[in-house]
Amino acid sequence: MPHEEMSWWLDEFAHAGPEHLDAAYVAAFDEKSATDWSEDIAILQALGIGATSTVVDLGAGTGSFARAIAPHVARVIAVDVSDPMLTTIRSHGIEAVRAGFLSYEHAGEPPDAVFTRNALHHLPDFWKAIALERIARLLSPGGVLRLRDLVYDFEPGEADEAISAWLAGATDNPAAGWTATELVAHVREEHSTFTWLLEPMLERADFEIRDRWLSPTRTYAAYTCIRR
């Protein structure tokens, strides 16, 4: 049955994070979230992603990663649920699709890699598991998933200490990063999970975790995974 006809299926367009629907926030996003993508691109290239490859970026935001990898691959598709984000992606000449983790349907040659950064946390864990299984189905065996997100690498009993330390290190300048007020809203209202819950979800979706990076703050993680 198509998702639209399933009364229990999550409407991910209604859970995009309100700021991502705000045109002013989107216009300032690239400066706030300035990123050097060279390490992500090098990791994908080391796994064979190159001139003939198709890459899908899920929760692409302004398409900053898609723009960076576009010269190195045959096709990159930037997928997002936010109309202002999609307008920005298209303004840079990047192929964009209005969809999300739970609704994206791929057309054309199957992707060789799926990339996603700082977007999966918009889904509660039940839906993360479903999203990861959908990503696995998008990829053929040997396909690559590069997943980066805000993920908590501590025990529940350490939350006070770990979150307090994270907030203490936040920037005061909202134009150049995320302030303590924004991080508080993230912890309270969004769905970042623990590494020790996310990793079994990846395994269960038939991914082998080849490489894992954890931030010193214990609040960010990056995984390079291969579809079994």
Ligand X SMILES: C[S@@+](CC[C@H](N)C(=O)[O-])C[C@H]1O[C@@H](n2cnc3c(N)ncnc32)[C@H](O)[C@@H]1O
Q: Could you say whether residue 101 binds ligand X (CB under 6 A)?
A: yes
Among 53, 66, 80, 114, binds ligand X (CB under 6 A): 80
Task: For residue 81, state whether it binds ligand X (rule: CB under 6 A).
Answer: yes
Q: In 3-state terms, the chain is what percent helix, strand and coil (to 5)?
A: 45, 20, 35
- Identify which range of 66-74, 118-126, 182-190, 219-227 contacts ligand X by CB under 6 A: 118-126
Among 67, 122, 146, 186, binds ligand X (CB under 6 A): 122
* Spatial separation of the C-alpha atoms in residues 156 and 149, rounded to whole Å: 19
Among 85, 96, 144, 201, binds ligand X (CB under 6 A): 85
Looking at residue 184, the DSSP 8-state letter turns out to be H
* Binding segment toward ligand X, per CB under 6 A, in 54-62, 184-192, 196-204, 216-224: 54-62
Map residue 38 onto helix, strand or coil. helix
Task: Give which of 119, 110, 116 is closest to 146, Cα–Cα.
Answer: 116
Query: CB of 19: closest distance to ligand X in angstroms?
Result: 8
Cα dist from 51 to 42, 48, 69, whole Å: 13, 9, 10
Identify the bridge partners of residue 171 per DSSP, sorted by sequence position: 179
Query: How far is 15 from 152, CA to CA, in rounded Å?
Result: 21
What character string, x for contact with ligand X (CB under 6 A) and - otherwise, covers 16-45?
A: xx--x------------x------------
CB-wise, 100 or 143, nearer to ligand X? Answer: 100
- Which DSSP symbol is given to 108? S
Binding region for ligand X (CB under 6 A) = 12, 15-17, 20, 33, 58-61, 64, 80-82, 85, 100-101, 117-119, 122-123
